[in-house]
Amino acid sequence: MDIWCRVYGVIEDTTGMRPNPVFKLFWLYMTPLVSLVLSICSLVEYQYLTFNRWYVYPGCVHVLGWLLALSSIVLVPVWALLQICTGTGSLREVRV
């Protein structure tokens, strides 16, 4: 069964109405594109954190902040890779 049929079914069960097909287009294409653009702009415009516009925090604080942020972000791809490596069958046979 197509995953989008299941997603649409869950949304229909929850809200009582079938979602607009545009929802699928936005979820598949617009959301990842906007997320990618915002991430790139955030990295390009990155500035070191300051306090009262004169005190710049040391580099170890920035590293700690990045490690804390990445600790929750990296878990999803790591879990997915573990599931792919330890699973049986092909990728098409993997159930969500």
Closest CA to 19 of 2, 37, 4: 4
Q: How far apart are CA 78 and CA 13, in angstroms?
A: 31
Treating both helix axes as pointing N-terminal to C-terminal, what angle do 59-73 and 75-86 enclose, rounded to 10 degrees? 40
In this prediction the pTM is 0.53
pLDDT tens digits along 33-86: 999 999 899 888 888 878 888 898 888 988 898 899 888 889 888 988 888 888
- Contact at 8 Å (CB) between 49 and 61? yes
Domain locations in the chain?
1-46, 53-96
- DSSP code of 30? I
- Contact at 8 Å (CB) between 25 and 34? no
